């Protein structure tokens, strides 16, 4: 078994503390090396050779056709403002053409590589799943349609970065297609459910630090195991199903009436905090799911 793990960071970050999310990639890399050969590389290491009746390429010194399993991890580097979703999309076509296994392959073929928050909210609402009220403003004249306070989020982003709150008309209200405004739900905690193979592995509660508005583990939020309720399970499995995801993280928060709303569906979820809090060995379960 020869596996390619694709990410936005190079292999040297596997042994350092540059990025918290690399700790879960390191777990995958270590387990997959025991099962055979594993290569950890950046999307920008890819070379494609695309011709009539031919789709091939290489990464570093490896022919892409030599891999049995492809694991695309996060395609976004929020620090550098880069996104490589289009490369993951091409890799998917190449892998499936060669009848190779690729994690979330059906999803990557079915949905745009730009799996942004605006699209997610639209698709979830279309499928009658509960979401926070969401607005996008392109014209200055439409700013009056906002019911303040609101959360401001970049449509492309991860780990809770560049999210902030506006509370009055004196705050800057941006009008562009790269951010969305959402209603503020009345809690400083949310829930993360991880789905694998149409099963929920459990749930963790993430609580934001004092004076913080995001609860992400990578942003300093505290994590704890919590009960996986029927409502959490139902919303998480429905989200995974409509987005055709084998493996994903679904973020949920209660509204003022105590009903859950879907904040986001992460197709490349980090699971360090989840494993730490729930004791569920996500890396081992994921590797077993992919190679057995």
Structure confidence by residue, pLDDT tens digits, 19-55: 455 788 889 999 999 999 999 898 989 999 999 888 8
State the average pLDDT over residues 49-67.
92
Best-predicted range by mean pLDDT (16-25, 73-82, 178-187): 178-187
- Angle between helix axes 230-242 and 117-126 (nearest 10 degrees) is 110
Strand partners, 56: 49
**Contact (CB, 8 A) for 166 and 271:** no
Looking at the structure, tell me whether residues 150 and 212 fall in a common domain. Answer: no
Domain of 178 in residue numbering reads as: 134-183
Looking at the structure, tell me whether residues 216 and 233 fall in a common domain. Answer: yes
Looking at the structure, tell me whether residues 125 and 236 fall in a common domain. Answer: yes
Looking at the structure, tell me whether residues 241 and 125 fall in a common domain. Answer: yes
Looking at the structure, tell me whether residues 213 and 225 fall in a common domain. Answer: yes
Looking at the structure, tell me whether residues 25 and 162 fall in a common domain. Answer: no
State the average pLDDT over residues 167-194.
83
Looking at the structure, tell me whether residues 282 and 259 fall in a common domain. Answer: yes
- The predicted model scores a pTM of 0.87
**Of the candidate ranges 8-17, 93-102, 160-169, 269-278, the one whose mean pLDDT is the lowest:** 8-17
Looking at the structure, tell me whether residues 97 and 176 fall in a common domain. Answer: no
Looking at the structure, tell me whether residues 198 and 263 fall in a common domain. Answer: yes
Looking at the structure, tell me whether residues 79 and 196 fall in a common domain. Answer: no
**CATH code where residue 231 lies:** 3.30.470.20
Statement: residue 281 has pLDDT above 90: yes
What is the count of structural domains for the chain? 3
Q: List pLDDT tens digits, range 142-160.
A: 878 888 888 888 877 655 5
Distances in Å between the Cα of 285 and the Cα atoms of 43, 48, 70, 193, 282 are 25, 31, 16, 15, 5
Looking at the structure, tell me whether residues 211 and 165 fall in a common domain. Answer: no
Could you give the CA distance from residue 195 to residue 13 in angstroms, rounded to a whole number? 27
């Amino acid at each position: 078994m020869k596996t390619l793990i694709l990410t936005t960071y190079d292999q040297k970050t596997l042994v350092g503390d540059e990025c918290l999310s690399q700790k879960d990639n390191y777990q995958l890399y270590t387990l997959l090396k025991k099962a055979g050969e594993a290569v950890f590389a950046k999307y920008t290491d890819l070379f494609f050779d695309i011709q009539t009746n031919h789709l091939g390429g290489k990464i570093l010194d490896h022919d892409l056709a030599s891999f049995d399993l492809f694991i695309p991890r996060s395609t976004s580097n929020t620090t550098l403002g880069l996104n490589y979703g289009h490369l993951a999309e091409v890799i998917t076509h190449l892998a499936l053409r060669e009848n190779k296994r690729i994690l979330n392959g059906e999803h990557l073929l079915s949905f745009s590589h730009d799996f942004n928050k605006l699209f997610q909210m639209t698709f979830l609402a279309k499928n009658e799943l509960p979401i926070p009220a969401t607005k996008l403003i392109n014209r200055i004249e439409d700013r009056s349609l906002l019911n303040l306070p609101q959360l401001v989020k970049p449509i492309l982003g991860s780990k809770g970065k560049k999210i902030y709150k506006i509370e009055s008309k004196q705050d800057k209200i941006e009008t562009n297609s790269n951010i969305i405004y959402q209603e503020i739900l009345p809690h400083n905690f949310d829930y993360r459910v991880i789905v694998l193979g149409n099963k929920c592995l459990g749930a963790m509660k993430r609580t934001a630090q004092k004076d913080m508005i995001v609860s992400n583990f990578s942003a300093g939020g505290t994590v704890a195991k919590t009960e996986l309720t029927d409502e959490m399970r139902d919303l998480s499995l429905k989200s995974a199903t409509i987005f055709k995801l084998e493996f994903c993280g679904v973020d949920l928060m209660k509204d003022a009436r105590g009903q859950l709303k879907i904040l986001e569906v992460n197709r490349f979820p980090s699971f360090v905090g989840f494993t730490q809090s729930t004791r569920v060995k996500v890396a081992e379960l994921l590797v077993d799911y992919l190679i057995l």
